[in-house]
Amino acid sequence: MAEENWVMLEEPEPTEQEKTFAEAHKKATERIRQSEERVLTVIRAHLGAEQALNALMKAGRRRRKNRTFSGKWWVAKGLLVKEMTEELWEVLKVGNELRNAIAHAEKPGLIEAKIVELRRAFIAANTPQQKKYIEAMTETQMIAMAFSHASSHMTVAADRLERRG
């Protein structure tokens, strides 16, 4: 049997173009990950808020079927529950506008503006002492907490209305 000689080839150094494409791919992958995280956070948080809105409307004996989130918002706001301030209603309104901008593939600039607007509304719905904590939150944390904060107030209002009968 003949002795075989194998020659191992070294990987060639990537070209500048290959390095550029690799970096672009890395950045695109990160943008996609961030976008997916944003979409999931907004949709999940919005769904939770809509469930709280439905509970409030049910407790207030208002029709909720065949209404959009915005329609439910108007009806529930008309219940004039003490647990919901104007600032909390604004958080829900802006949060819904953000959800709509994402769902209807609006321009990225509009989505970014709605995120800034939501943070402002969330800060306005809280105490001055909480402002620094809200400002320090990541986008994902802030979106989830803004919807959750308003939802918890609606849940308390719904519970009170249910007990009152």
Which residues have C-beta within 8 Å of that of residue 26, sequence separation ≥ 6? none
Nearest to 114 by CA among 90, 88, 81: 90
Query: What integer is the mean pLDDT of 41-67?
Result: 95
Looking at residue 1, what is its pLDDT?
55
Strand intervals (E) in the chain = none
Query: What integer is the mean pLDDT of 81-106?
Result: 95
d(CA 132, CA 116): 15
Using pLDDT thresholds of 50, 70 and 90, give the confidence band for residue 31: confident
Burial, 5: exposed, middle or buried (Cβ in 10 Å; 0-12, 13-18, 19+)? Answer: exposed
Nearest to 142 by CA among 105, 95, 90, 106: 95
Helix (H) or strand (E) segment spanning residue 25:
helix 16-59
Overall pTM > 0.95 = no
Helices 139-164/108-124 angle, 10° precision? 50
Nearest to 50 by CA among 27, 18, 66, 72: 72
Asked whether the predicted pLDDT for residue 3 surpasses 80, the reply is no
Asked whether the predicted pLDDT for residue 149 surpasses 60, the reply is yes
Looking at residue 38, what is its pLDDT?
92
Q: What is the pLDDT of residues 98-142, one digit of tens each?
A: 999 999 987 879 999 999 999 999 999 999 999 999 999 999 999
Looking at residue 2, what is its pLDDT?
60
| Range from 18-27, 61-70, 135-144 carrying the lowest mean pLDDT | 18-27
Looking at residue 94, what is its pLDDT?
98
Asked whether the predicted pLDDT for residue 33 surpasses 90, the reply is no
